[in-house]
Amino acid sequence: MLTIIQEHLEEIVAVLLFAIGFTTLLLQRNLIKKIIGFNIMDTAIYLLLTSVGYIEGRTAPILTDGITSAQYYINPIPAGLVLTGIVVSVSVTALMLSLTVRLYRRYHTLDIDRITLMMKGEDD
């Protein structure tokens, strides 16, 4: 059991972080905390991807000293996926934050339940 935990430490941490982020995004009523939860959730996935993509003792596949054997390099695709994912989550975070600013200016609270209640009270 202990060896399993030691061997898969990153994966276990990633899954725990994913769970924390997911529940924060789902259950927190504060919009800013929801956005933080979303970021934790996405970062956990990137941790999972990078930890699987990295092999100890190998380097990034950039040809500098003439070594062409694939055994000395790691697979660059997971890193590429993580980069793409980061771009996506940055833009999503920006959009969520701007929406939050708008909602706060209109309702003067960050609590999504109270905002929903106030919205139902007003006519459109």
Partner 1 sequence: MQFVQNVPFFSIMLCMVSGIFSAMLPGRAAKWVTAGLAAVVAALNLWLTIFMWGYGESYVYWMGHFPAPWGNELRAGVLESTLAVVFSLIMLLSVLGGMRKLNEQVDHKKVNIVCVMLDLVLAAMMSMLYTNDLFTAYVFIEIMTLTACALIMSRQNGRTMVSAMRYMIMSLLGSGLTLIAITITYNLTGHLLMENIHDSLVELSASGEYATPITVIMGLFFVGLGIKSALYPFHTWLPDAYGYSTPTSSAVLSSIVSKAYIFLLIKIFYRVIGMGLVTSSHVMDLMFVFGVAGMIIGSVNAIFSHDLRRMVAFSSVAQIGYIYAGLGLGTGMGFVAAIYHMLMHACAKSALFVSSSGLADASGNSKRFSDLRGAGFRNPAAGVCFSVAAMSLVGIPVLGGFISKLYLSNAALYRGGIHMWVLLAALAVSTLLNVLYFMKTVITLYRPPREGFQAPAPERSPLSGAAMWGFVALNLLVGLMAQPIVTAITNGLMMFE
- 9, 16, 52, 70: which one binds partner 1 (CB under 8 A): 52
Give 47's contacts (C-beta < 8 A, 6+ positions apart).
Answer: 10, 13, 14, 17
- For the bound state, the minimum distance from the C-beta of residue 81 to partner 1, rounded and expressed in Å, comes to 6
Task: Tell whether residue 104 is a contact of partner 1 (CB under 8 A).
Answer: no
- 20, 36, 79, 81: which one binds partner 1 (CB under 8 A): 81
In angstroms, rounded to a whole number, what is the distance separating the alpha carbons of residues 29 and 13?
25
Give 42's contacts (C-beta < 8 A, 6+ positions apart).
Answer: 21, 85, 89
Task: Tell whether residue 90 is a contact of partner 1 (CB under 8 A).
Answer: no
Task: Tell whether residue 74 is a contact of partner 1 (CB under 8 A).
Answer: no
